[in-house]
Structure 1
Amino acid sequence: MHFTDTVYRNPYWPTFPLLQITQGCTHNNCKFCTMYREVPFRMQPMEWIEEDLKEIAEIAPDATTIQLLSANPLCMTYDKLAPILEKINAYLPKMEYIYAATRVTDIRNKTVEELKKLKELGLREISLGVESGDDWTLDRINKGYHASDIIEQCKKLEEACIDYWMTFLNGTAGKEHSLEHAINSAKIFSQCKPMLVGTGGLTLFPGTPLLEEAERGEFTPLSEKEMLIELKTFVENLTCDCYFITHHTVSGKNLTGPDFLKRKDAIIASLENEIEHGDLDRMAAIRSRKKTL
């Protein structure tokens, strides 16, 4: 298999087989991330993709799922992406679900009709690293799009009947804009129809511009308690029904599961308990041991 340095795969999706079709990240400029900092973006050569599909077909000829790699493989135009999906179906004729993580901006270069055709070829579910629905925060962390872009591109996915995930990055606005980040993100997410909303807490990794800004006093990170308060505010203002998960260091009960709106009060109560009684030192210790997103 032609796996290059630094690949990301979603652990909640089937993690075998995996097929890398791009290297690196087209944006590679988010201030909180260094995952692909040293990996120039390029598309995998088609001969590599076909060789990998031959290998997968030998090992798992009855595979019904596959996850595309790396950071944002759907950046490809329809004309480049469709032939890859066609080859997947040719080598793996029982294929049902093709998964991919990608950026909001990667949907722009595809029409709804093209997205529908990709759905017919097996592209059933994608994960969008949204991080925030607040324009100030999106600019602050250099995501490369605004809240209106999130809504516009998600509506296209909905029209094409492609399921999608949305992520909220807790703490990424710092103390300077925490309340607005939580409330405005929830408002934007609630105007969409994600099948899943996932949250994670910001960790300032070495080499990230955001850590350097924090060291210069230009960014004020949230404490663990403040992170929980921000997450609670986000949950309180979120009104879309979905599967809800969190990667936060919090260990409270009832945080992950389906039917978010039915469980919303229980999630809030669990977060309130963690805010008042949680082991904040343990949470901070867990965060300090994280090495990557």
Structure 2
Amino acid sequence: MKYDNIIYRPPSEANTLLLQVTSGCSHNKCSYCSMYRDIPFKTESLEQIEKDLIKAKVFHKNTKRIYLLNGDPFTLNADKLKSIAQLIHTHLPNCETISMYSSIKSIKNKSLQELKELRSLGINDLYIGIETGCDESLEYINKGNNSREAIKELKRLNDASIDFISIIMYGIAGYDKGVENAIATAKLLNSVRSKAIALMNLTLIPGTELYEETIKGNFVQASEQEKLIEIKTLIEHFHLKDETLFSSIHISNLAPLNGILPRDKELFIDRLNRVIV
């Protein structure tokens, strides 16, 4: 199967069949991210995608799940995504779920009817890098959307019955802004229905704009203590209406937490209190 570059996929998709439908990231402007920095964005042809599916069915004919690569495959227009889904079902008829990364902007370019049609074809479990609910931070990291737009588009996914995993990055607001950031992020997530919430710790990577801003002294990192307090504040301010998987098992995290909210809310807070000095 064709894979052009380094493969990035969520930890939970470690055993999922990977199908390349794009290369690079359509946005590729987030100031903290280096994943696709030197990779031009391009889309894969349906002919190549079908070739890969023909190869895949030799070893994965009974697969029930497939993950589309790369940075933001949901940026493809609805017709292209429908065609890809139809090819998947032709060659892998047992496939039930077609998952991928998405941005807020990529939801925006699809009507509610198109979203519902995509859901009917098995497109579900979108991984969305929300990062934060703080507009100041969203603008600073050049995310490409504000919190109001995020809530609007995530609610449209809810209306279309498309599940999504909200990826949140603590430490992104910098020194002495963790509590403020946590409260704003909790407010955003309380407004929508996530299937899961996945936490990541801000990691500064050489070559990114945020790294350079740190070197210049324009961005000051939060301490580990501040980050732990930010996580605790986030959880304290959650008022989720539905049971939601909560996970901070990514290798970047300071405190591994894995469970269900709101059921495990007090357990998480107790664990964090034990490590906060």
> C-alpha distance in 2, partners of 1:108/1:98?
19
Give the aligned partner of residue 270 of structure 1. Answer: 271
Deviations 1:111-157 (A, max 9, x none): 11111111111112111111011100100111000001111111111
TM-score, scaled to structure 1: 0.90
State the shift of 1:179 in Å: 2.4
State the shift of 1:37 in Å: 0.2
Match of 2:244 among 242, 245, 250: 242
Give the aligned partner of residue 221 of structure 1. Answer: 221
Deviations 1:93-119 (A, max 9, x none): 111111111111110111111111111
Deviations 1:261-286 (A, max 9, x none): 1211110111111112xxxxxxxxxx
> C-alpha distance in 2, partners of 1:76/1:210?
28
Amino acid paired to 2:253: T
Give the aligned partner of residue 281 of structure 1. Answer: none
1:257 counterpart SS class:
strand
State the shift of 1:234 in Å: 1.1
> C-alpha distance in 2, partners of 1:161/1:102?
15
TM-score, scaled to structure 2: 0.95
Give the aligned partner of residue 52 of structure 2. Answer: 52
State the shift of 1:230 in Å: 1.1
Are the equivalent residues in 2 in contact too, given 1:15–1:67 (CA < 8 A)?
no
Does 2:163 match 1:163? Answer: yes
Give the aligned partner of residue 280 of structure 1. Answer: none
Give the aligned partner of residue 233 of structure 2. Answer: 233
Are the equivalent residues in 1 in contact too, given 2:33–2:205 (CA < 8 A)?
yes
Give the aligned partner of residue 279 of structure 1. Answer: none
> C-alpha distance in 2, partners of 1:72/1:15?
20
The alpha-carbon distance between structure 1 residues 54 and 37, as it changes in their structure 2 partners (threshold 3 A), is same
Identical aligned pairs, as a percentage? 36
State the shift of 1:64 in Å: 1.3
Amino acid paired to 1:163: D
> C-alpha distance in 1, partners of 2:134/2:83?
36
Amino acid paired to 2:29: N
Give the aligned partner of residue 3 of structure 1. Answer: 3
Amino acid paired to 2:247: I
State the shift of 1:14 in Å: 5.5
Are the equivalent residues in 2 in contact too, given 1:131–1:168 (CA < 8 A)?
yes
State the shift of 1:16 in Å: 3.0
> C-alpha distance in 2, partners of 1:251/1:178?
16
> C-alpha distance in 2, partners of 1:16/1:201?
24
Are the equivalent residues in 2 in contact too, given 1:9–1:15 (CA < 8 A)?
no
Matches within 5 A, 1:142-153: 142-153=142-153
1:262 counterpart SS class:
coil
Over aligned residues, Cα RMSD in angstroms? 1.3
Are the equivalent residues in 1 in contact too, given 2:178–2:229 (CA < 8 A)?
no
Are the equivalent residues in 2 in contact too, given 1:6–1:24 (CA < 8 A)?
no
Unaligned ranges ≥5, structure 1: 277-293
Give the aligned partner of residue 135 of structure 1. Answer: 135
Deviations 1:7-52 (A, max 9, x none): 2212213633110100000110111111000000010122211110
Give the aligned partner of residue 92 of structure 2. Answer: 92
State the shift of 1:166 in Å: 0.5
> C-alpha distance in 1, partners of 2:95/2:37?
33
